[in-house]
Amino acid sequence: MISFEGQVAIVTGAGRGLGRAYAKELARLGAKVVVNDPGAAVDGAGSDAGPAEQVCREIRAAGGEAVANLDSVASFAGGAGIVKTALDKWGRVDAIVCNAGILRDKAFHNQSEDDWDQVVAVHLKGCFTVLHAAWPQLRKQRYGRVVLCTSSTGLFGNFGQSNYGAAKAGMIGLMNTLKLEGEKYDIRVNTIGPSAYTRMTEGLMSAEQNAALSPEHVATVVAVLASRDCPDSGVILEAMAGRISRAAIVRGRGIDYDASKPRDPDWIAAHWDQITSLEGAQMMWSLGESLEKHQGRS
């Protein structure tokens, strides 16, 4: 039975939408929760203590424990402040859900440097700042669960979201390294790719679709990934109403040739279909495994 009794969880961007659902579900299952949210608008402007405080009130009203934190994940000091809140209040951190995010959607040719920098700072750097502050504690206690939050835009692309997609795809690279560095400390790092109706998706889908895409469908999956019982590390799960599936980066079998004789562009073009085929594709645990399988021609 999934339980977080005696555990402390941090959820960033937890004042609304998916983050709110994650925080409330973890609290329902027994976690003490740091509800982080500076209360900014969708584009990152402004601040408001109300959303984080409201989620804490809802958790307490249901019999749980929660504390609000208003720091921005986009700064190194902010990430440290979020973790400090957990340690000062409860003395430990067990699970971290890096959910904070903003949107500044524009076609690539219209995107400003600030549009790029701010989105990457909150989504990708925001994972770094919080996890960098928490990592020594997770290593020390030889336990931790980390859930990063990617997107179908990061996995597959979406028009007008190059900044958002790049940041979300960057989380996959971060996961793939941290799963290795955390392995011997029982720190498991996984990624959720959610689809849900929130203020970030307002106006994108029909009322019927919105009614079905409740954040609670995703929150139960996040709870498993953040729990002691999570069986894996380095997994990407997509979740929405009525479907949970795995996404993965794979390497095709490709084509081998004599490495002492480089091939010319015409040879590569002639063998394009074989080079790009995903028949018999494999998932790799690490760069080392990929190199070993290449050298072994497996």
Do 88 and 169 belong together in one domain? yes
Residues in the chain: 298
Q: What is the pLDDT of residue 208?
A: 57
- pLDDT tens digits along 211-267: 567 789 999 999 999 999 999 999 999 998 888 999 999 999 999 999 999 999 999
Do 121 and 254 belong together in one domain? no
Structural domain harbouring 12: 8-247
Closest residue by Cα to residue 297 from 256, 265, 263, 237: 256
User: Where does the pLDDT of residue 56 fall: very low under 50, low under 70, confident under 90, or very high at 90 and above?
Assistant: very high
Q: Report the number of distinct structural domains present in the chain.
A: 2
Do 233 and 85 belong together in one domain? yes
The reply to whether 22 belongs to the active site is no
For the residues of 75-95, what is the DSSP string, one character each? SHHHHHHHHHHHHHHHS---E
Q: Of 22, 143, 164, 197, which one is the catalytic site residue?
A: 164
Q: What is the pLDDT of residue 298?
A: 47
At 219 the three-state DSSP class reads helix
Do 126 and 211 belong together in one domain? yes
Q: Is the pLDDT of residue 110 over 50?
A: yes
- pLDDT tens digits along 65-98: 999 999 999 999 999 999 999 999 999 999 999 9
Q: What is the pLDDT of residue 83?
A: 98
Gap between the Cα atoms of 181 and 286, Å rounded: 11
Q: Decide: pTM greater than 0.75.
A: yes
